[in-house]
Chains A and B, each alone.
Chain A
Amino acid sequence: MADYPSRLVGERRLFDGRKVVIRPVRADDDLLEREFLSSGVSGESRYLRFHKWVGAPSDKLIHFLTDIDYERHMAFVCIHGEGDEAEVAGEARYVANSDGKSCEFGVVIADAWRKSGVAGLLMEALIRVARERGLTSMEGLVLRNNPPMLRFARALGFEVHSVPEDPITLRIVKTL
């Protein structure tokens, strides 16, 4: 099991002043992650994340999302509340490509936490780690019918490109 990068745990504040914890995901976050993906996030949001219908997330998917090596696969969750009250407000992650230079990233925010500042905090943490790890570019695939994500990506300095022979998907790229 990979060492947990505790130094990346941090307390932050949202636009409205509420306190949240931004930290790398842990293997024992499986229940929180399942709750997040099945109830926190609507079917529509899951569709935008996976580009297909995802119903109840499978054990395999939850394992893939929470039990990570913090090297090739890095993920941050935004946690609000403590103990039994704790919930995932959003998550951002990347998986490095085999070239060791670029990575694919994705970000999902719980429906109730949209526009609260969660996505910005998560991406800030994710981009910082990606740079530290020597990655030089971050890219993602976004459906054309997801204008909020495209606006957010542009604001973070991502460039938007079309994907050859694929009318429904856009590729967004940022040099780190």
Chain B
Amino acid sequence: MDRIWLNSYPDAAPAEARVRAYPSLVDLFEESCRRFAERPAFTHLDVTLTYAELERLSARFGACLQRRFGLGKGDRIAIMLPNLLQYPVALFGALRAGLVVVNVNPLYTARELAQQLADCRPSAVLVLENFAYTLQQALESVPVPHVVTTQVGDLFPPLKRWTVNLAVKRLKRMVPRWRIAGAVGFRDALAATPGLERARLGADDLAFLQYTGGTTGAPKGAMLSHGNMVANVEQTLAWVGGTLVAGEETVVSALPLYHVFALTANLLLFVRLGGNDILVSDARDIPRLIRTMKKSRFSAMTGVNTLFNALLDADGFDQVRRANRGALKLSVAGGMAVQRAVAERWQQAMGVPLVEGYGLTEASPNVCANRFDAKAFSGKLGLPLPSTEVSIMDKQGDAVRLGEVGEIWVRGPQVMRGYWNRPAETASVLTPDGWLKTGDLGWMDENGYVGFTERRKDMIVVSGFKAYPSEIEQVAMLHPGVKDAGAVGAPDERSGEAVVLFVVRADSGLTADAVREHCAKYLTGYKRPRRVEFRDSLPKTPLGKIFRRRLRDDVLGADG
């Protein structure tokens, strides 16, 4: 099919991006460190690392991995951190040493963490002390040779470091007691003898195993190569290039960097641009986020619909708006559908459109974006990015006509190499000629805009995070009082969708609170049922297949 979307591109956007601009992310990083050495790179709680400092610290962390732990190219390191200065230091240190980075949601429960570690078998883990007890539990079933722990303030200047670390540990009691034999402190790791031996990396070498859920809840690691990531950074840059100026931008990173969207759109893109990344470690703490935003003149921000909505409603947002007047150039929303009302309110308040994009872990992630000079909310996923092909296919794998609904397929240099150790699942989503079947249904209009209809996959998207019904059912059925369980997504004003769990009781005394409490032990926040409903049986076909659609109808019916 012709790339009809090119006719709708802004003048500044090229058809092709320089997708091979760097052999690896390490080359990209090192060039920025040279070009922007004295510029601020990352800021957290008013402490800033310059590019030169980031270069120096990451070399030390990389040297520790190589010299002290004896790790090298192809070994995996799991990084289990919220947005802290330690994150880019460890990330670039590991990549420079040739390791493959596995991002881990720090809010995972021990069960979820153990599952991911068992799949990727890392040689090292870096964890924030607040979550070390979870790691300790997971290590009982999946041993990892090297563990590095860090405290929130580890990269702050001495006085601030002591006060912050003390406050977190003693005053706020945010660190459950833990004990991991042989664990090395982050500051100790940085004290290792210098002498990073820069790994030789090419486009085909893996940079990340980026985990995404599977239908039965067992997570799958998308193999994202250096080439994939460099390409997606360059594609995104080609799209926004006319808007942003190298060495002059400041971006607010409220979304977690362990998520692929913020990883590429905030961290990597703004390192490429020599920008300053304002790190927010917990975006759910809206008052603190507002304070941070008030203090920083920021020119770009990414988020999910839930976050923009919460900001617009927050006390003090008006002050943010006034303090930042004229500075914001770019605001991007991904991960979940953007509501028209939220997009329109944001544009009205901030003077720039809330640009909706579309992507998925398997595509590093960016595939489509709306125009940044859009005057009005399109309600669509946008146009395919430079050097990206999108085709809408029918069930037989033939392209449908414009305007007709089919599965969205994507081809381009950002498409993953496959799922880690899962050839069958890889084969079911990647075609021999390089197309990625997204599992999303959509259509393309005559101007090349892609619209989204619905997901083909059985999953629930909560504020941009994917929850799989089968995993929730599996956990629920671990409870002896639960005979059967079925999970579905219900529309939710705040998070887009929320999990509703239908339970058939084995023990008539079982309460909804008991089910929720049980789920909280094994499932991280977004996967937990918001509502628990009891039924005598679940709707099933004569052969015993669940009628999930009827459960969904039930939820909608109950909501009136």
List which B184-224 residues lie within 8 A (CB) of chain A.
214-218
Residues of B at under 8 Å CB distance from A?
A: 214-218, 395, 428, 439, 441, 453-458, 469-471, 473-474, 477, 483, 485-486, 538, 541-546, 548-549
A-chain residues with CB within 8 Å of residue B544 when the two chains form the complex: 50, 61, 64
Q: Which residue from chain B places its CB closest to the CB of A103 in the assembled complex? A: B542
Pairwise interchain contact A141-B542, C-beta atoms closer than 8 A: no
Partner of B549, one of A55, A61, A165: A165
List 13 interface pairs A-B (beta carbons < 8 Å), by A numbering. Answer: A44-B214, A50-B544, A50-B545, A50-B546, A52-B469, A52-B473, A95-B542, A95-B543, A145-B457, A165-B549, A166-B549, A168-B456, A169-B549
Q: Which residue from chain A places its CB closest to the CB of B544 in the assembled complex? A: A50
Pairwise interchain contact A145-B543, C-beta atoms closer than 8 A: no
Pairwise interchain contact B216-A44, C-beta atoms closer than 8 A: yes
Pairwise interchain contact B477-A167, C-beta atoms closer than 8 A: no
User: Does A143 count as interface, using CB distance less than 8 angstroms?
Assistant: yes
Pairwise interchain contact A53-B474, C-beta atoms closer than 8 A: yes
Supplied contacts A44-B214, A93-B543, A168-B548, 20 more A-B pairs, CB within 8 Å:
A49-B545, A50-B544, A50-B545, A50-B546, A51-B548, A53-B216, A53-B217, A53-B474, A61-B544, A95-B542, A97-B542, A104-B541, A104-B542, A105-B543, A145-B215, A163-B549, A167-B453, A167-B455, A168-B457, A169-B548
Q: A47-B470, A93-B543 are in contact. Are A145 and B216 (CB under 8 A)?
A: no
B-chain residues with CB within 8 Å of residue A143 when the two chains form the complex: 215, 458
Partner of A52, one of B214, B455, B470, B543: B470
Q: Which residue from chain B places its CB closest to the CB of A160 in the assembled complex? A: B395
A-chain residues with CB within 8 Å of residue B395 when the two chains form the complex: 150, 160, 170
User: Does A83 count as interface, using CB distance less than 8 angstroms?
Assistant: no
* Distance (whole angstroms) from the CB of A73 to the closest CB of chain B: 8
Pairwise interchain contact A44-B215, C-beta atoms closer than 8 A: yes
* Distance (whole angstroms) from the CB of B234 to the closest CB of chain A: 31
Q: A53-B216, A145-B439 are in contact. Are A104 and B549 (CB under 8 A)?
A: no
Hey, what's the 0/1 contact readout for A151-176 against B, CB within 8 Å counting as 1?
00000000010010111111000000
A-chain residues with CB within 8 Å of residue B215 when the two chains form the complex: 44, 47, 143, 145
* Distance (whole angstroms) from the CB of B407 to the closest CB of chain A: 9
Q: Which residue from chain B places its CB closest to the CB of A94 in the assembled complex? A: B543
* Distance (whole angstroms) from the CB of B320 to the closest CB of chain A: 38
Q: What are the 3 A-B residue pairs with the smallest beta carbon separation, nearest first?
A: A53-B473, A95-B542, A53-B470
Most chain A beta carbons < 10 A, residue from B217, B469, B470, B474: B470
Pairwise interchain contact B542-A43, C-beta atoms closer than 8 A: no
A-chain residues with CB within 8 Å of residue B473 when the two chains form the complex: 52-53
B-chain residues with CB within 8 Å of residue A93 when the two chains form the complex: 543
B-chain residues with CB within 8 Å of residue A61 when the two chains form the complex: 544
Complex CA gap A43/B473 in Å reads 12
Pairwise interchain contact A168-B458, C-beta atoms closer than 8 A: yes
Chain A interface size, under 10 / 10 to 19 / 20 to 34 / 35 or more: 35 or more
B-chain residues with CB within 8 Å of residue A141 when the two chains form the complex: 541, 545
Pairwise interchain contact B545-A51, C-beta atoms closer than 8 A: yes
B-chain residues with CB within 8 Å of residue A168 when the two chains form the complex: 455-458, 548
A-chain residues with CB within 8 Å of residue B216 when the two chains form the complex: 43-44, 47, 53
Q: A52-B469, A55-B477, A167-B441 are in contact. Are A104 and B543 (CB under 8 A)?
A: yes
B-chain residues with CB within 8 Å of residue A47 when the two chains form the complex: 215-216, 470
User: Does A106 count as interface, using CB distance less than 8 angstroms?
Assistant: yes
Complex CA gap A163/B454 in Å reads 13
Hey, what's the 0/1 contact readout for A40-63 against B, CB within 8 Å counting as 1?
000110010111110100100100
Q: Which residue from chain A places its CB closest to the CB of B483 in the assembled complex? A: A58
* Distance (whole angstroms) from the CB of B475 to the closest CB of chain A: 9
Q: Which residue from chain B places its CB closest to the CB of A65 in the assembled complex? A: B544
Complex CA gap A43/B541 in Å reads 20
Partner of B456, one of A51, A144, A148: A144
User: Does A17 count as interface, using CB distance less than 8 angstroms?
Assistant: no
Complex CA gap A101/B389 in Å reads 47
Q: Which residue from chain B places its CB closest to the CB of A150 in the assembled complex? A: B395
A-chain residues with CB within 8 Å of residue B470 when the two chains form the complex: 47, 52-53
* Distance (whole angstroms) from the CB of A47 to the closest CB of chain B: 5
Most chain A beta carbons < 10 A, residue from B216, B455, B473: B216
Hey, what's the 0/1 contact readout for A84-96 against B, CB within 8 Å counting as 1?
0000000001110
* Distance (whole angstroms) from the CB of B426 to the closest CB of chain A: 12
Pairwise interchain contact A167-B542, C-beta atoms closer than 8 A: no
Complex CA gap A95/B544 in Å reads 10
Q: Which residue from chain A places its CB closest to the CB of B457 in the assembled complex? A: A145
* Distance (whole angstroms) from the CB of A26 to the closest CB of chain B: 19
* Distance (whole angstroms) from the CB of B484 to the closest CB of chain A: 9
Complex CA gap A168/B546 in Å reads 12
Complex CA gap A51/B473 in Å reads 11
A-chain residues with CB within 8 Å of residue B471 when the two chains form the complex: 53
* Distance (whole angstroms) from the CB of A174 to the closest CB of chain B: 15
Pairwise interchain contact B458-A145, C-beta atoms closer than 8 A: yes
Complex CA gap A147/B437 in Å reads 12
Q: Which residue from chain A places its CB closest to the CB of B424 in the assembled complex? A: A148
Q: Which residue from chain B places its CB closest to the CB of A44 in the assembled complex? A: B216
Complex CA gap A97/B542 in Å reads 8
Complex CA gap A51/B545 in Å reads 6
Complex CA gap A94/B470 in Å reads 25
B-chain residues with CB within 8 Å of residue A49 when the two chains form the complex: 545
Complex CA gap A51/B488 in Å reads 12
B-chain residues with CB within 8 Å of residue A165 when the two chains form the complex: 549
Complex CA gap A43/B218 in Å reads 10
* Distance (whole angstroms) from the CB of A42 to the closest CB of chain B: 8
* Distance (whole angstroms) from the CB of A19 to the closest CB of chain B: 27
* Distance (whole angstroms) from the CB of B520 to the closest CB of chain A: 18
* Distance (whole angstroms) from the CB of A161 to the closest CB of chain B: 10
Q: Which residue from chain B places its CB closest to the CB of A161 in the assembled complex? A: B395
Complex CA gap A150/B437 in Å reads 16
Q: Which residue from chain B places its CB closest to the CB of A58 in the assembled complex? A: B483
Complex CA gap A64/B214 in Å reads 29
Q: Which residue from chain A places its CB closest to the CB of B439 in the assembled complex? A: A145
A-chain residues with CB within 8 Å of residue B486 when the two chains form the complex: 52
Complex CA gap A143/B469 in Å reads 14
B-chain residues with CB within 8 Å of residue A51 when the two chains form the complex: 458, 545-546, 548
